[in-house]
Chains A and B, each alone.
Chain A
Amino acid sequence: MLEPTSSHFWSNLLFLISRYLHIVCTTLLVGGTLFYEMVVPIAIDDLKAPQQLSVFGRARWVFRWIVWLSAGVLIISGAMSIYRHISIYDVDGAAIVNQVSGQNEPPTPRARLAMRSGWWMAAHAGAGLIAVIVALFLTLGRRLPEHPVRWMRMNLIILLVVIFLGSATRHVRLLVTESAAKVGMKQLQSAPHPPSP
């Protein structure tokens, strides 16, 4: 059985809250984008053009502060997650997985690329940053940008890719971490270390 130790309790709690906030802020960005792309245009459809602009502008004002808050929290919680797993990101996962599965041949360059969780993390962080910048661009300034719905649609696609890259990063990281633990490379495990059984 695993028992929590006091030395790791607070850091584990902090990382748990950070992961929770990362997901919650993602839901707000994705859900908000979808909502403003699908619901708001239909809701204001039977209004006259000036009223439509007024409603869209007011909705955008509410959207703005949540987008800014979410963007800030996403960047901070993402940085915390990178710090926690930094030792695994640079590991040649393909070699370790090969070792565990008992294969003697060196891994192919393609396998090395796919099994390095750092690349997936970099792609996730880079695409995420682009999505955040687009969301900030849509809410910055007093005037509504041209074709806001088209921009939101584009950002929604970027966000889908970002979430996929996040899932892939997690899978590769877990596979490498479990394999590393099997070959006894304890130093590769995430900091802080899990509590003793």
Chain B
Amino acid sequence: MDWLLVASTVSRWLHVLCACIVVGGIFWMVLAPSAAPRGRAFKPVLHGSILLLILTGSFNAWRAWGQYNLWPGVLHGVFGMHLIVALAAIVLVIVATARPIFNGKLLAWGVALLFVVVLLASTLKGLRERAVLKHSTPITSHA
């Protein structure tokens, strides 16, 4: 069994799952401001998910680095944007949830940035898959 392939699948699953928890959880906190200040129970889950997002994101980037080099001009640019906007969003979310009473305005900015991060991730994935396909060398020809 290719354990690296299994690890990649699990890592990607955790990355998407943590993204869902962070983006969706904060979105609902912004939407239900009366509950947001009492989001203490959610804080460990949120911060734990952010930590896992960084770890699995680093692993995924390491695994896919060879693919990024297939089309460096574009893929490195989009990956860099994804990384920078994601880090900015994480900083905003951590600052907004640092105190016992969450800062709703900062959380709203954080979730807006997180939606941009998801868009950049989707773009990056599509471009990377396309670059990989174009650089696959045929071994034999089939009719």
Closest chain-B Cβ to A14's Cβ sits at a distance in Å of 11
Given A19-B122, A194-B134, A28 and B27 touching (CB < 8 A)? yes
Interchain CA distance A181-B131 in the complex, whole Å: 12
Interchain CA distance A127-B104 in the complex, whole Å: 34
Residues of A within 8 A of B138 (CB): 181-184
Interface residue count on the B side (C-beta < 8 Å):
53
| Interface contact B24-A30, CB-CB below 8 Å | yes
Is residue A32 contacting chain B, with contact meaning CB distance below 8 A? yes
Is residue B20 contacting chain A, with contact meaning CB distance below 8 A? yes
| Interface contact A182-B20, CB-CB below 8 Å | no
Interchain CA distance A39-B97 in the complex, whole Å: 14
Closest chain-B Cβ to A150's Cβ sits at a distance in Å of 17
Is residue B47 contacting chain A, with contact meaning CB distance below 8 A? no
CB within 8 Å of B: which of A52-89?
A: 55, 59, 62, 66
| Interface contact A184-B139, CB-CB below 8 Å | yes
| Interface contact A184-B140, CB-CB below 8 Å | yes
| Interface contact B136-A182, CB-CB below 8 Å | yes
Partner of B130, one of A166, A185, A194: A194
**Which of A131-139, A141-149, A167-175 is found at the contact surface with chain B?**
A167-175
Closest chain-B Cβ to A3's Cβ sits at a distance in Å of 10
| Interface contact B41-A31, CB-CB below 8 Å | no
| Interface contact A31-B23, CB-CB below 8 Å | yes
Residues of A within 8 A of B8 (CB): 171
Partner of A12, one of B23, B73, B126, B139: B126
Interchain CA distance A71-B19 in the complex, whole Å: 19
CB within 8 Å of A: which of B17-37?
A: 17, 19-29, 31-32, 34-35
Given A19-B125, A184-B139, A178 and B24 touching (CB < 8 A)? no
Interchain CA distance A39-B31 in the complex, whole Å: 13
Residues of B within 8 A of A32 (CB): 24, 27-28
| Interface contact B25-A34, CB-CB below 8 Å | yes
Is residue A29 contacting chain B, with contact meaning CB distance below 8 A? yes
Closest chain-B Cβ to A174's Cβ sits at a distance in Å of 7
Interchain CA distance A27-B25 in the complex, whole Å: 8
Given A20-B122, A181-B136, A28 and B24 touching (CB < 8 A)? yes
Of the candidates A16, A31, A32, the one having the most CB atoms from chain B within 10 angstroms of its own CB is: A31
Interchain CA distance A55-B35 in the complex, whole Å: 10
| Interface contact A2-B115, CB-CB below 8 Å | no
| Interface contact B13-A181, CB-CB below 8 Å | no
CB within 8 Å of B: which of A21-59?
A: 23-24, 26-32, 34-36, 38-40, 42-43, 55, 59
Interchain CA distance A29-B74 in the complex, whole Å: 32
